[in-house]
Structure 1
Amino acid sequence: MSLRVNALKIAPSDYLVQLRGSGIGAEIQSGGSIVLHRPAPVQILPGFAQGHVSVQDGAAQLAAPLLLSGAGSAQRLRILDACAAPGGKTGHLLELQDCEVTALEVDPVRARRIGENLQRLGLQAKVLTADANAVGDWWDGNLFDAVLLDAPCTASGITRRHPDVLWLRRIGDIAQLALQQKALLQCLWSVLKPGGRLLYCTCSIFQEEGDAQVQTFLANNNNAVLLPSPGHLMPQNGANPQLLNDNQPGDHDGFFYALFEKKSA
């Protein structure tokens, strides 16, 4: 069980002291995430209700800092978090930088969870319930400085925690989801300003939802530049850190990241 510490309220090292003082064993991973020795109900985590900490996998915690890297702080960034529920990445963006975030979610029930999580953290974002592909229904015409697209996917990267995912998928799911991801990438690229950055990510280990998607996007958009990105991260248990030498250290789900920059005209 991985935790993300809200840097606006407490330092990871100080929170680790609180955990151990409550009899909860834990370790700090690279990047500041905390992994509990054993899963625990959130109700017993110190300061959870006050927004000191959130439950978020270590791989998912890479999204916000990666998107904000190199963005600077000279101006207040306008950021779109598409497919944002339950709001973990939305909250992380706001914890790391004073920015204006629009969180987009097509499911009304899941959209309410974004608001609930932000309220617990003491943060604010513009939460919209809409289909990201239907740009005319939600976009005000002002280009975004950055876009985070955590696209719908097979969730094949979370099977170490949810092995039932494999039984819930059908043979044609990968191809269908890949088409949906392609459409979302192309659509959201249009609302990004020149010089802006778009981070594409999925909790999938399949090439069709990762590197193959990136190569197709680059071939279709000559104004897109692929920046240094983690790429495919395979699921990893902290007990076997040497399974893949180039893997992200620590305990995390499988994930894919690709960071694009839109060339200025």
Structure 2
Amino acid sequence: AEQGREAEGVTWSAAALCLPASVPVATLPGWDAGWVAVQDGAAQLAAHILAPREGERILDACAAPGGKTAHLWALGATRLDALDRSAERLNRVRETLERQGGEVHLQAADAAETATWWNGETYDAILLDAPCTGTGVIRRHPDIRLRRQPEDVAEAVAQQARLLEGLWPCLRPGGRLLYATCSVLPEENEEQIAAFGQRHSDARCMAHPLTGQRLPGQEDMDGFYYALLEKDACA
């Protein structure tokens, strides 16, 4: 308000503001100093659901472009590792963190190929923002209706399952894994998680008011799906 920028608060986060009209991000007060970041509301929910706790070792398994990584750091994830299979895309994560002053260990690697990057020390929490068809962002990218083909869905489902299988051993007993997609297709979401649960008796879904399927436009957000899994402490 002091800078002459109109903004409103939101009900789902004490830290988020909604601007009534788009503006160039560099004109936002404190942008260069890292005071603010810009993400769709549904994407911001990830850090709030995972809710990093003091001292936890946390992995962001598919980090680029870095919005969720920086948000986790801002919420107190001081022992945070971030992976992305693309070294080029990982540069965007680095730029985002540098602007906001975040200190995160970055590594270019395929999260499912744990032998190439994991030292065997388990994580307390993992964020898997999985590659998907992107059908949840259709309100901003309507061309998705024309570009996506049935084989794209099958490919995404296989990749998601591969990542879930690869990352599960990296999670300590009693730890939690947040599975997320910006998709509205059940094959990528609830059916994917149900199939994973059938394969892993040590996995259970944790109840959380922000998980489940969110549709495009709901509360003026993108479509997103979240499932919070806990590994049996006796595993």
Same fold (TM > 0.5): yes
Pair 1:26 & 2:29 matched:
no
Question: Runs ≥4 in structure 1, deviation > 4 angstroms?
Answer: none
Pair 1:251 & 2:232 matched:
no
CA RMSD of the aligned region, Å?
A: 1.3
Alpha-carbon distance, 1:92 to partner: 0.7
Pair 1:158 & 2:127 matched:
no
Alpha-carbon distance, 1:98 to partner: 4.2
Give the Cα separation in 2 of the matches to 1:124 and 1:72: 16
Which of the numbers 146, 170, 193 marks the counterpart of 2:172?
193
Pair 1:231 & 2:212 matched:
yes
User: Is the deviation greater in 162-171 or in 188-197?
Assistant: 162-171
**Paired residues of 1:35 and 1:251 also in contact (CA < 8 A):** no
Percent of matched pairs sharing the same residue: 44
Superposed, 1:203-222 pairs within 5 Å as 203-222=182-201
Give the Cα separation in 2 of the matches to 1:173 and 1:221: 26
Q: Per-residue CA shift, 1:50-108, capped at 9, x if unaligned? A: 1011110100111011112xx643xx111010110011111111111142111000111
Superposed, 1:1-265 pairs within 5 Å as 17-18=1-2, 21-22=3-4, 24-30=5-11, 31-32=13-14, 33-68=16-51, 72-73=53-54, 76-229=55-208, 230-236=211-217, 250-265=219-234
Q: Which residue of 2 aligns with 1:8?
A: none
**Paired residues of 2:53 and 2:76 also in contact (CA < 8 A):** no
The 3-state SS of whatever aligns with 1:141 is: coil
Give the Cα separation in 2 of the matches to 1:104 and 1:166: 30
**Paired residues of 1:231 and 1:258 also in contact (CA < 8 A):** yes
**Paired residues of 1:158 and 1:253 also in contact (CA < 8 A):** yes
Give the Cα separation in 2 of the matches to 1:98 and 1:232: 26
Give the Cα separation in 2 of the matches to 1:42 and 1:97: 24
Alpha-carbon distance, 1:28 to partner: 1.1
Give the aligned residue type for 1:171.
P
Unmatched 5+ residue regions in structure 1? 1-16, 237-246
